[in-house]
Amino acid sequence: MVLKPVAVWIEKERLNGNIVRCLTIILRSRGCYWNRCLMCGYKKDTSKDVTLKDLIDQFNFALKRLSGVDVVKIFTSGSFFDSKEIPKEFRSFVYDALTGKIRKLIVESRPEFINEETAEELSSLEFETEVGIGLETADDFIREHCINKGFSFEDFKRSAKILKSHCVKVKAYILLKPPFLSEGEAIRDAIRSIKAVKGLADVVSVNPTNVQSGTYVEKLWFKGLYRPPWLWSAVEVLRNAEIDAICDPVAYGKARGPHNCGRCDRDVARAIREYSLTQDASVFDGLNCSCFKLWERVVELEDYSRIPLALIHV
Ligand SMILES: [Zn+2]
């Protein structure tokens, strides 16, 4: 049987200041060996018995849409360089298939799989490469106790330096609003984290938490002890980002995703996506909604309430 990818789609992507076509491929793999992060529900996209042939079949299926594409993103719900999850033979197959056809390849990995060997694997390719690392926050306490990520800022730093020394680009994922943080703490943590990765990462991807099935965050959410961040918070973080920052507010406007009042969500999410492509903060200037004032109050008061305020659409 031919296994198909979890998802394949074409989207716009920023490449050296231009907007180009990007093919994003989510492969079903054995999944992330760590699998303990409190907000992560990607286990549902994995299967323990995925073989090398299955990976190749999925990739070949996605390649049918390669025409006119400049950037390819391959995500596995785990680590591209964990050879137990993604065999080296598969990685070589990918590199060969893309050589001469694209300008940039983006993959993801936890820092423990990044070393001289993997960095050389990427730097030997003729196209540009980038590795996304789920740092989530520069704060070790929050990363350990509110996310259960299992690595330190030093680990991130080490892997980012190795990649940079081989001219491989680094993208740091910053989680906007890990559980147990107030809205204001979440904003401040994300802004501080972006500042901390300046010089280590080429770009940050600000990822507003969404409530995924079967996660610890979902348990909190069911009890009214967690609310995904406001879209206004994402805007605030992007406005204060000192390096290139992108944000795709997955599930925006839904109770499980980042949301405002329900009336302005679409416009604010559109501006966030526009900013991601242009890095032009003026896209936020026209945004206006009566819920902005409520958000300001929430940011102020949640530091004291310690439980989410304005849980429902108002
Ligand atoms: Zn609103």
In a domain, 313, yes or no: no
Distance, in Å, from the CA atom of 27 to the CA atom of 54, rounded to the nearest integer, reads: 9
In a domain, 314, yes or no: no
Span 31-39, mean pLDDT? 97
CATH number at residue 27: 3.20.20.70
Residue 313 has pLDDT above 90, yes or no: no
Distance 314 CA to ligand 1 centre (A): 8
Span 94-121, mean pLDDT? 98
In a domain, 170, yes or no: yes
CA separation, residue 230 to residues 150, 252, 284 (Å): 27, 9, 15
Residue-range definition of the domain harbouring residue 112: 7-305
Residue 92 has pLDDT above 60, yes or no: yes
CA separation, residue 291 to residues 228, 261, 268, 280 (Å): 16, 6, 12, 23
Structure confidence by residue, pLDDT tens digits, 173-220: 999 999 999 999 999 999 999 999 999 999 999 999 999 999 999 999
In a domain, 261, yes or no: yes
Distance 254 CA to ligand 1 centre (A): 13
Distance 221 CA to ligand 1 centre (A): 21
Distance, in Å, from the CA atom of 295 to the CA atom of 301, rounded to the nearest integer, reads: 10
| First-to-final CA distance of the chain | 49
- Selection from 285, 225, 291, 218 nearest residue 259 by Cα: 291
In a domain, 312, yes or no: no
Distance 132 CA to ligand 1 centre (A): 32
In a domain, 2, yes or no: no
Span 55-82, mean pLDDT? 97
Residue 310 has pLDDT above 60, yes or no: yes
Span 91-100, mean pLDDT? 98
Determine the pLDDT at residue 314: 42
- As a whole number, the mean pLDDT across the chain is 96
Residue 311 has pLDDT above 70, yes or no: no
Residue 83 has pLDDT above 80, yes or no: yes
Distance 298 CA to ligand 1 centre (A): 13
Span 8-24, mean pLDDT? 96
Distance 260 CA to ligand 1 centre (A): 5
Distance 289 CA to ligand 1 centre (A): 5
Distance 200 CA to ligand 1 centre (A): 35
Distance 311 CA to ligand 1 centre (A): 14
- Selection from 264, 305, 253 nearest residue 297 by Cα: 305
Residue 85 has pLDDT above 50, yes or no: yes
Task: Count the domains in the chain.
Answer: 1
Beta-carbon neighbours within 5 Å of ion ligand 1 = 260-261, 263-264, 289, 291
Distance 264 CA to ligand 1 centre (A): 4
Structure confidence by residue, pLDDT tens digits, 255-305: 999 999 999 999 999 999 999 999 999 999 999 999 999 999 999 999 999
Distance 295 CA to ligand 1 centre (A): 9
Determine the pLDDT at residue 312: 58
Distance 236 CA to ligand 1 centre (A): 15
In a domain, 221, yes or no: yes
Structure confidence by residue, pLDDT tens digits, 147-165: 999 999 999 999 999 999 9
In a domain, 179, yes or no: yes
Determine the pLDDT at residue 1: 83
